[in-house]
Structure 1
Amino acid sequence: MFKNILAAYGLEIGDVFMQEFGIGLINKTWKVEKSDRTASYILQRINHSIFKRPDDIAFNVSYIARFLQQHHPDYLFITPLTTVDGKELYYDEQHGYFRLAPFLENSCTINTVNTPRQAFEAARQFGQFTSLCSRLDPAKLKITIPDFHNLPFRYQQFREALEQGNKDRRSETQDLIGFLQAHAGIMTTYTDILQNRSFGIRVTHHDTKISNVLFDAVDNGLCVIDLDTLMPGYFISDVGDMMRTYLCPVNEEETDMSSIGVREDYFQSIVTGYLSAMKPLLSRDEKHHFVYAGKFMIYMQALRFLTDYLNNDVYYGARYERHNVVRAENQVVLLQKLLDKEPILNGIVTDALYTTVPGM
């Protein structure tokens, strides 16, 4: 497999070292290093079962790359290489779609947010990326995952699972079901946003976990990576995903619900980091929905986990009995913690909006 893939990019398999790289759940990744240490690359196999049209991903990335090169040539944007015959992806009939990109030396990724500074730097990078693309028409981008952050669509899937899913599982999860139904106003707010012209549709990353930012050795953010879900969207998707994955000291796999919480200093870092780039671009209504972004993403993920559990784990799978219901409960607890602190968090946003955003 690798011999043909590497040859497509002008590399010889006998002249490189290869090793698996990262812990991504969707795409498979390898680091490729020339034996003479003159160059290193990242090779990825795109998950064709998730991304039905990989060429759309390649189109979006190249379109953004051309725009940034023209308007912001000093911005660090890692663009995949083309094959020797000029193609943006290599297709293998047996193994699918692959891409090769330069590896940025002296850079690293972080799998877990460990300090407020890391949260600030990541938020700043995602905000800067969207800000720099503000003059680009997002309608030009392809939709790589339809309905990815469409909350009414996810709620409808949840309702269908209640009607058609596993009855025993539905019976045992009545408390979780009741909580999600009781908080359906989060979905109603989103439908209102869809009709609100003061909410801008922008170039949005849609997957703002910390591992999608490259850092240097002293925790300075360098650039954003992994643009498979780059699509038109609302700012609440990017901010909400940061809140969902940065605020809590544990992730959605945690089974000890007592360890779930919302760290106010990390929220402060997200606010100041993102607003350092996006404050002039967000409308008044958007700024007032900053905390809502977290509710939006956490609620949607809780819906998706419980929906999958009711549907017998057909989407996420399960490594143990009740895995997805534990994940759903985890997100419900996180959502409640966020709701409990909403007045405090809104105060932090207000303070940031009326003060100069500092560096950290």
Structure 2
Amino acid sequence: MLNQILPLYGILPVKSNIQLFGDGLINHTWKVTTENAGYILQKVNQAVFKKPQDIDQNISRLKAFLNRKHPEYLFISPITDTTGKSLIETSEGYFRLFPFVEDSHSLNVLSKKEEAYEAARQFGRFSMLLNEFDVDQLYITLPDFHNLTLRYAQFKNAVLHASPERKKRSKELISFIEDNYSIVKTFDQITANHEIPLRVIHHDTKINNVLFDRYDKGICVIDLDTVMPGYFISDVGDMMRTYLSAANEEETDFSKINIRTDFFKAIYDGYMQEMGSVLTETEKGYFIYSGKFLIYMQAIRFLADYLENDVYYGSKYEGHNFMRAENQITLLKRYQEAEPLLRSLIS
């Protein structure tokens, strides 16, 4: 397969070192090292991204805008092949090749608040530089990805059709989700009243989507497949969900789930360093809400999947998605408990 693709870029496989690369769960990724340069080759997961051409068009349009308005920004986009294409279609699927940024690295685990600051600043900078970009030019690569109204409706449907055994086991979690429906109502209010603007949003702000230099300073954001129109609460909320606790969503010892308030302040400082002059006053008022929004939505998705017999996320052991849902609900409870302190930190 790769022996047919790499020559389209003028790369000879027999003279290259090719290895599987990274911990990504969506696309298949390889690092290709030649005598003169390094590259990242990806196969697009069409089970997730139904229209790879839309992703390619989005990245191309963003690149053209940034090259014109902010040529100093390192925007890592696909390399064109010998025919000028940046997305290659084969019988095996869609592929694209990226330059490998030398002396860079990504993180899988946050250990310092300074890393949270740098990551938040990079995601903020990305949206800030694209503040004048017309979001209507972007395709929706994952329809309703962060549509909380829809996710809640799907959850209620899952409850309605769940087996008696799974429904009984989930009784307390279902009650918690329903008792916190105000989070959905706030989202409905935001969208129905057009309270905050659509922006160019990354939508997947986990820490390994940021490149750092050798001094652990942020360079740029990567993995742009989910970039599309959205609300800033998606990017900030995903950072809250994945940066604040030292325990991730797979942790089964819930006593380890906590809110690192210094990491929260780092997220706020880093993001606002870039977006502070761009966000409206209304948006700023929803900064803390963004954490509740994303954590609650992920809890809903895990619990709905459990009630539907693990058809979406799959399950590595019995009750895996039940555990994930309980994990996220615990995180949301800790976040709600810390909310007064969080407000004081940014007041």
Give the shorter-chain TM-score range: over 0.9
Which position in structure 2 is the counterpart of 1:75?
73
Match in the other structure for 2:239: 242
For normalisation by structure 2, the TM-score amounts to 0.99
> Bigger shift: 119-128 or 4-13?
4-13
Paired positions, count: 347
Structure-to-structure mapping, 1:75-224, within 5 angstroms: 75-93=73-91, 95-224=92-221
Q: Is the 8 A contact 1:158 1:304 kept in 2?
A: yes
Asked whether 1:60 is paired with 2:58, we answer yes
Per-residue Cα deviation, 1:277-305 (whole angstroms, up to 9, x for no partner): 11111111111110100000000000000
C-alpha separation in 2, matches of 1:118 and 1:158: 34
1:14-56 CA-partner distances (Å, limit 9, x unpaired): 111011111001111110000x2x1000011111000000011
Partner of 1:354: none
What corresponds to 1:39 in structure 2? 37
Divergent runs of 4+, >3 A: none
Q: CA deviation at 1:246?
A: 0.3
Overall identity of the aligned pairs, in % = 51
- 1:189: how far off? 0.3
Matches of 1:30 and 1:131, distance apart in 2: 31
Check the 8 A contact 1:138/1:231 in 2, yes or no.
Answer: yes
Superposed CA deviations along residues 71-119 of structure 1, whole A, max 9, x for unmatched, are: 00111111111121121211221x2111100000000010111100000
Aligned to 1:11: 11
Q: Is the 8 Å Cα contact of residues 43 and 100 (structure 1) preserved in structure 2?
A: yes
TM superposition shift of 1:9: 1.6
Verify: 1:315 aligned to 2:282, yes or no.
no
Per the alignment, residue 357 of structure 1 pairs with none
> In 1, distance between residues paired with 2:180 and 2:9?
51
Give the letter for the 2:19 counterpart: Q
Distance 2:109 2:90 in 1: 34
Equivalent-residue separation in structure 1 for 2:308 and 2:8 (angstroms)? 42
SS of 1:341 mapped into structure 2: helix
> Which residue of 2 is the match for residue 26 of structure 1?
26
Give the aligned partner of residue 336 of structure 1: 333
**Aligned pairs for 1:337-356 within 5 A:** 337-350=334-347
Structure 2: which 5+ runs fail to align? Answer: none
Mapped to 1, the partners of 2:60 and 2:343 lie a distance apart of: 38
TM-align CA RMSD: 0.8
C-alpha deviations, 1:153-201, integer Å up to 9, x for none? 1001101101122331111110000000100110110000003334011
In the alignment, the residues of structure 2 paired with residue 252 and residue 71 of structure 1 have an alpha-carbon distance, to the nearest angstrom, of 39
For residues 26 and 167 of structure 2, what CA distance do their matches in structure 1 show? 28
Find the partner of 2:230 among 219, 228, 233.
233
CA distance in 1, matches of 2:231, 2:277: 16
Q: 3-state SS of the aligned residue for 2:290?
A: helix
Q: Which amino acid aligns with 2:49?
A: F
